[in-house]
Amino acid sequence: MPRVAKELSAVAVRNLTRRPGLHAVGGVAGLCLNVLPKDRAVVRDGQRVKVPKGSGGGATWILRTHIDGKRVQIGLGGFPTVTLSQARDSAREMLAAIRAGRDPVAERNAARAAARAARAATITFDGAVQQWLTVKKQEWSSEKKAKQIESALARYASPELGRMNVQDIELAHIVRVLEPHWQNKTETMTGVRARIEAVLDWSTVHGYRKGDNPARWKGFLDKVLPAPAKIKTAKHFDSMPYAEIPEFMAALKDRAGMGARALEFAILTGARSKEIRGATWAEIDVGKRVWTIPAARMKMRREHRVPLTDAALDVLERTGRGEMDGLVFPAPRGGQLSDMSISAVLKRMEVPVTVHGFRSTFRTWAAEETQYPREVCEVSLAHAIGSALEAAYNRGDLFQKRRNLLNDWADYCSGKAPATGGNVVSINQKAVMG
* Domain containing residue 331: 242-433
For 12, what's the count of Cα atoms within 13 Å in the CB-facing half-sphere?
Answer: 9
Domain contains 3? no
**Which amino acid is it at 351?**
V
Give yes or no: residues 14 and 135 share one domain: no
Task: Give the gyration radius of the chain's Cα atoms.
Answer: 36
Question: Could you tell me if 268 and 315 are in contact, meaning their C-beta atoms sit under 8 angstroms apart?
Answer: yes
Domain contains 4? no
Instruction: Report the SS3 class of residue 349.
Output: coil
Per-position pLDDT tens, the chain of length 434: 346 678 899 899 999 988 899 999 998 999 999 998 865 544 444 455 555 444 445 899 999 999 888 899 999 999 999 999 999 999 999 999 999 889 888 888 888 777 666 655 689 999 999 999 999 988 876 788 888 899 999 999 999 999 999 999 999 999 999 999 998 888 899 999 999 999 999 999 998 999 999 999 999 999 999 998 887 554 445 889 999 999 999 999 999 999 999 999 999 999 999 999 999 999 999 999 999 999 888 877 788 899 999 999 999 999 877 556 689 999 988 888 988 999 999 999 989 899 999 999 999 999 999 999 988 898 888 886 655 445 544 555 588 999 999 999 999 999 886 554 444 455 455 555 54
Domain contains 106? yes
Which uninterrupted H or E stretch holds 190?
A: helix 186-205
- pLDDT of res. 410: 95
Count structural domains, the chain: 3
Domain contains 236? no
Burial label for 382, CB within 10 Å (0-12, 13-18, 19+), is: buried
Backbone angles phi, psi at 74, to 5 degrees: -110, 120
d(CA 33, CA 20): 10
Given 93, 120, 147, the domain boundary residue is 120
Question: Could you tell me if 377 and 361 are in contact, meaning their C-beta atoms sit under 8 angstroms apart?
Answer: no
Given 231, 262, 283, the domain boundary residue is 231
Give yes or no: residues 85 and 190 share one domain: no
Domain contains 2? no
Given 120, 136, 170, the domain boundary residue is 120
Give yes or no: residues 219 and 323 share one domain: no
CATH no. for residue 209?
A: 1.10.150.130
d(CA 128, CA 165): 9
Which candidate, 53, 58, 52, places its Cα nearest to that of 35? 58
Give yes or no: residues 302 and 428 share one domain: yes
Which uninterrupted H or E stretch holds 52?
A: none
- pLDDT of res. 420: 47
DSSP-assigned beta bridge partners for residue 70: 67
Domain contains 158? yes
Which candidate, 266, 264, 293, 289, places its Cα nearest to that of 280? 293
Give yes or no: residues 428 and 413 share one domain: yes
Share in percent of the chain as helix, strand, coil (round to 5): 50, 10, 35
